Structure 1
Amino acid sequence: MKLHKHILLSVLALGLMLTSCEKPFDQLEQDPNRPTSAPASLVFNGVLNDMYSIAGGGAWNDSQRYNQFYASNYNYYATNEYSWTSTGLYYTTLKNVVKMEQEAKKAGLPDVNAYSALGKFFRAYFFEQMTKRLGDIPMTQALQGLDNQTPKYDSQKDVYVQILKWLDDANSDLTSLIAKNDNNLSGDIYLNNSLAKWQKVVNSYKLRVLVSLSKKESDTDLNVKARFADVVNNPTKYPLMASMDDNLQYIYNNQYNKYNRNPDNFGQNATRENMAATYLGTLTSLKDPRTFVVAEPATAKIAAGLKPTDFAAFVGASSGEDLAIMSSNANQGLYSFQNRKHYYSTYTAEPYILVGYPELQFSLAEGINRGWAAGNAEDYYKNGILASWGFYGLKDGANTVYFSADGGYKVFNTYTVSVSFADYYAQSAVKYAGNSADGLKQILTQKYLAFAQQSGLEAFYNQRRTGVPTFLVGPGTGNSQRIPLRWQYPATERSYNAANNTSAVQSQYGGNDDINAAMWSLK
């Protein structure tokens, strides 16, 4: 018995020793090499980078082919087909937005702070990116983690109602913070932590959303016309971008942060991509000097006797052309390629605009043309064209342009072209035709030209909504020579949220998750 007693006491003592020096089980489960929190500024920076990626991730990619700004003539890398399937969702980024707000609060910031205000804008931005690709999406019950792994779908109308509310709330919060000079923002790769500039972005983006809902202008819940007029009539309450300096844009600054076309990939794609006729043909038909900055003259046209500065020397390929024919024609010098000086001679080329001043000007012109607000649509229309010209360095008077001298990107011939905005604007195809259907078509055409290699799929979304410009189709575009209207829901939704997904597809598209079906906002 004594022996047993001594053993028991020894075991108890050992247990007490172990208990006193060991950490609780939940602490042992934590990996010291994996952080459980991060500064709000760091999460914010990640969300900003996601904005860039989701907005196309730069120029000369799939989005810009679907916008018919350029075309692939080499099917090893890409085709020009619109045979879309599913799209990705952005809930992971939205979870990071929630995390950013939480970390700001943990750091002691008040309920309304710079991160929470921009968090509302980010919600509007990423949910809008999803709904205009798909239609109905989970929103109200989304972002609840394990508490709800099968969120119901909200109607596209309800999503847009909430988007507009988030944008209004973000504007109100930013107004309050700016008035109090209360700004804890850091990590901003776009606007140098300026809340005043972010507020301009929020309101300019709101006009993008409102214009995108033009087919629903009579819906009383959305109240598109009154909301648009409210922004136009109250510039103090709703400050807007005032110049190109206010653009939300991604800057390329060195060979480690490269523009999508640069000296390193010249051999890979310079001759395997040519300009698309929808874009380049529109420029040349208007005798637009942007032609000389964005494209090279077709070598076959020069060999036939045209001058490099003749608009007829610039030829784009129809995106609908059979790929084998396009490839053959491109190899024969029948088509224009990207301007080597502008796009390939450096690593920085031009900024990539996510939300920009030219778009804003055309949105204002469109809304006024439609009768949503009072104002001079022609002034905004002119401002948009001039801003886009300025982006390419074009000005009235003599302008120097460069074309490849040897088919490469290092030796260039220089030419002088005389530019006159007055002469350009005097053309009947350009001079604003007034607040009419013809005037609206002019606004939309110039908006399309200003979107070139910018803003992800915005050119496509505008064309989908308005039919301007006419997108070219044929065997090369696939999809039975149709331009699709949407993407399919991702397989994860069909697998893990099947009942809600099936219900959403049934209520919107008659049970067929069809890329050619029109969503609510397009009806």
Structure 2
Amino acid sequence: LNAEQIDPGFIMTEVISQSAYQLVLAGFAGNTSQCIIDATMQYVQQDQGGGVNIKNTFGWKGRGWGYRSFYLSLANSNYLGKRAKDSRDSTFLRGVSLTMQAYWFGFNTSGWGDVPFSEAMRGEDNILRPKYDSQKEVFKGILNYLDKANETFSNVSSVSDFTKSSDIMFNGDIAKWQAFTNSLRLRFLMRLSEKTNEMNEIGVDVKAEFNKIFSDRNKYPIILSNENNAVVQLPGLASNDSWPLGPFNQKTEDPYRRQKPGAPFVNFLKEKNDPRLTVWIKPVDVQTVIDDKGDEKVILIDENGKVKKYLRSLSEYVDTSLFVGLPIALANPDNYNGNSSDDRNAIGNLNPNIYSGGASNPYVSYFASMFRENTSPYLPGTFITASEVYLILAEAVVRGWISGSAEEFFKNGILTSLRQYDIFDGDLKVYNPVNHKIQAYNEDEFINSMINHYNSASDKLLPIMEQKWLSLFTTLEAWFDWRRTGYPNLGKNLVSGPHGEKMPIRFYFGDSEKNFNEENVNKAIERLEPPIDDQWSKIWLLQGTGKPYN
């Protein structure tokens, strides 16, 4: 069996599944060579091992196109388009190919800056050292791909049963593919929010294009319900299709336990009485209480049968909450909140069921149990969701790009995020920081408080970006929004960052490009500000914007 005999439907299956799994690894569940943005966005801090330097304090390494097989996903998306002619569903498959290529080109240029585009994947034309196109030309090409994809899907009247079964994301639903395609267009147009004048110079009216899509839902459907989310569930049947921190892939608890929630993430959820806190994060195994029990520190079982640590007085870096995250870029995160081997031994003697293995800290929260399972409906591979689209629309109204109610879009962005996790009014999901009880979620009360927070903000982008930061948890997308807007202001949370309050703003090129395409890579590096290939230099998207820092 040669490549030409493989039905293109199988190629589509591989493109979708491979892409989704790479996003799972890069967004949250991969090792330190795969996943670093979760710590940059302060969702996560690693408390042991090499990740303390690589993730917590940004000791990044160069990442080539082979990084997490992102390039392979792009190459296979391109190959799908070339093979589409061999299928009875050729038009549909060409649309899928264009959308998936646009997705990965968009990711690559957003992550690295200038990348090969016009000469990419043209080895058959003997182009082995492709030029690195300017970022604005890459974005122009991406938007063109997505426009063509929407038009291509419009010309499809039906999809065969075989191709439907090969489409593990939308089951051949043409309208859902169109909505995915146009939602990506909105995302990338908004990514250009600080570069509208320069895009105009090359014939792309960002605001007009955005308004055109928003104003004609029949021609340009977009994702506005969770049923249409562009996500792929992990089957959880074997190691290669299961959540990377689950038992199929990790025989011990250590990798799961090592990834602790970041304190800014935990604290923001607590401050807002957000029910997603208890869905994503576990309470500490042993709560710290300020109460004089005779000695400076006493560990004992309270009247409710819970092991507690009692301290005579409160001091710096002591957190008495039931939900505790690690401060960001802390020098010795493993010791946070008084963690020690002596304490763990004392706790184990009182209750041997409390986890005391590798990466244990009974005084800091772990992520919820679903992060240790082989599969969970709440942890798919995510391309884009309704929540993100609603919040993009809210921002577009604030910027004056479209008409409508920013407040309503903002509210729907929050609600669709909550529904992704099956959070409904009355659920016992809300942590009360005063009495440390879990109480019923009151949806009207919560949404009203969020709307009040929005209305009282002097810059309406801040609450929108805060909610995008939350709703984009387990993906890389919040990084791109933070770079573009400076919101939320996460740099202020760094305890011992290598560059003060600055955080990385790009991936830097790997050795493979420098070894095999040195001349073109160097030209791309020369266009950075400053022209240094590291994680601190500004790509064109950020140059001259003053964001996320000067």
The alpha-carbon distance between structure 1 residues 233 and 311, as it changes in their structure 2 partners (threshold 3 A), is: farther
SS in 2 for 1:253: coil
Aligned-partner Cα distance in 2 for 1:297–1:45 = 39
Q: Which amino acid aligns with 1:259?
A: W
Counterpart pick for 1:320 among 329, 344, 357: 329
Once the two structures are superposed, residues 160-219 of structure 1 have per-residue CA deviations (whole angstroms, 9 ceiling, x without a partner) of 011111111111111121xx3355734111111212111110111111111111111334
Superposed, 1:112-191 pairs within 5 Å as 113-146=91-124, 147-177=126-156, 180-181=157-158, 185-186=163-164, 187-191=166-170
Paired position in structure 2 for 1:449: 470
Contact conserved, 1:249 with 1:354, CA < 8 A, in 2?
A: yes
Q: Secondary structure of 2:460's match?
A: helix
Candidates 227, 252, 263, aligned match of 2:209: 227
Q: 1:428 to 1:338 in 2, by over 3 A?
A: closer
Q: Within 5 Å, give how 1:285-304 maps onto structure 2.
A: 285-301=271-287, 303=289
| Partner in structure 1 of residue 449 of structure 2 | 427
* Counterpart pick for 1:46 among 14, 24, 48: 14
Residue equivalent to 1:280: 266
Contact map agreement 1:86 1:489 (CA 8 A) in 2: yes
Gap change, CA 1:74 and 1:246, over 3 Å in 2? same
Matching residue's letter, 1:104: A
Is the 2:289–2:320 contact (alpha carbons within 8 Å) kept by the matching residues of 1? no
Greater shift after overlay, 330-339 or 490-499? Answer: 330-339
When residues 297 and 98 of structure 1 are mapped into structure 2, their CA distance, relative to the original with a 3 A threshold, is closer
Specify whether residues 85 and 222 from structure 1 end up closer, same or farther in structure 2 by C-alpha distance, changes over 3 A only: farther
Quick one: structure 1 residues 282 and 354, their matched pair in 2 at CA, closer, same or farther if it must change by over 3 Å? Answer: same
Corresponding residue for residue 59 of structure 1: 28
Query: How large is the Cα RMSD of the aligned pairs?
Result: 3.0
Instruction: Note if contact 2:273-2:430 (Cα within 8 Å) is conserved in structure 1.
Output: no
Query: Is the contact made by 2:329 and 2:497 (CA closer than 8 Å) also made in structure 1?
Result: yes
Q: Which residue identity lines up with residue 176 of structure 1 in the other structure?
A: N
The residue aligned with 2:345 is none
Mapped pair 1:86 → 2:68 = no
> Which residue does the alignment assign to 1:350?
378
TM-score when normalising by structure 1: 0.82
CA drift at 1:283: 0.6
How many angstroms does 1:263 deviate by? 5.1
Q: CA deviation at 1:303?
A: 4.9
Does the CA contact (< 8 Å) of 2:279 and 2:368 recur in 1? yes
- Contact kept, 8 Å, 1:398 with 1:416, in 2: the verdict is no
- Out of 40, 43, 58, the position equivalent to 1:69 is 43
1:247-262 equivalences in 2 (<5 Å): 247-256=229-238, 257-262=241-246
**AA partner of residue 29 (structure 2):** W
Q: 1:325 to 1:348 in 2, by over 3 A?
A: closer
Contact 2:231 2:384 in 1 (8 A): yes
Shift of 1:430: 5.0
Partner of 1:218: 197
Classify 1:164/1:343 alpha carbon distance in 2 versus 1 (closer, same or farther; 3 Å). same
Structure 1 Cα separation of the partners of residues 271 and 411 of structure 2: 18
Quote the Cα distance in structure 2 between the aligned partners of 1:253 and 1:415.
35
**Quick one: distance in 1 between partners of 2:481 and 2:335?**
27
- Work out the CA distance in 2 between the residues paired with 1:77 and 1:67: 15
Do the aligned residues in 2 keep the contact of 1:263 with 1:347 (CA within 8 Å)? Answer: no
CA distance in 1, matches of 2:404, 2:320: 35
1:300 to partner: Cα distance: 4.5
Pick from 490, 493, 501 the counterpart of residue 471 of structure 1.
490
> Which is higher, the Rg of structure 1 or of structure 2?
1
5+ residue gaps, structure 2:
292-301, 307-318, 341-360, 544-550
Task: Evaluate the alpha carbon distance shift between residue 222 and residue 35 of structure 1 in structure 2; reply closer, same or farther with a 3 A threshold.
Answer: closer
SS at the partner of 2:163? coil
> Which residue number in structure 2 is paired with residue 30 of structure 1?
none
Contact map agreement 1:286 1:429 (CA 8 A) in 2:
no
Offset from partner CA, 1:420-474 (integer Å, 9 cap, x none): 122123337854218x753211111011111112x3x111111111122222554
The size of the alignment, in residue pairs, is 471
Preserved CA contact (<8 Å) 1:91 1:143? no
